[in-house]
Structure 1
Amino acid sequence: MSHVVVERSFPTPQSDAELSVVEDRLAPCSELYGVVWKRSVVSVDRRHMICEYDAPDAETVRKVQREAGAAFDHIWSGEVIES
Structure 2
Amino acid sequence: MAYVVVERSFSSPQSDDDLARVEDRLAPCSGMHGVVWKRSVVSVDRRHMICEYEAPDAETVRQVQREAGASFDFIWSGEIIE
Query: Whole-Å Cα distance in 1 between the matches of residues 18 and 76 of structure 2?
Result: 24
RMSD, matched Cα: 0.1
Counterpart position of 2:68:
68
**1:21-74: CA deviations, max 9, x gaps?**
000000000000000000000000000000000000000000000000000000
Instruction: Report how many aligned residue pairs link the two structures.
Output: 82
Q: Which runs of 4+ in 1 moved over 3 A?
A: none
Secondary structure in 1 matching 2:23: helix
Give structure 1 stretches of 5+ with no counterpart: none
| Map 1:53-64 → 2, pairs under 5 A | 53-64=53-64
Alignment of 1:1-83 (within 5 A): 1-82=1-82
- TM-score with structure 2 setting the length: 1.00
Runs of 5+ consecutive residues of structure 2 not aligned to the other structure: none
TM-score when scaled to structure 1? 0.99
Letter in 1 for 2:31: E
CA distance in 2, matches of 1:81, 1:70: 28
Query: Percent identity, aligned pairs only?
Result: 80
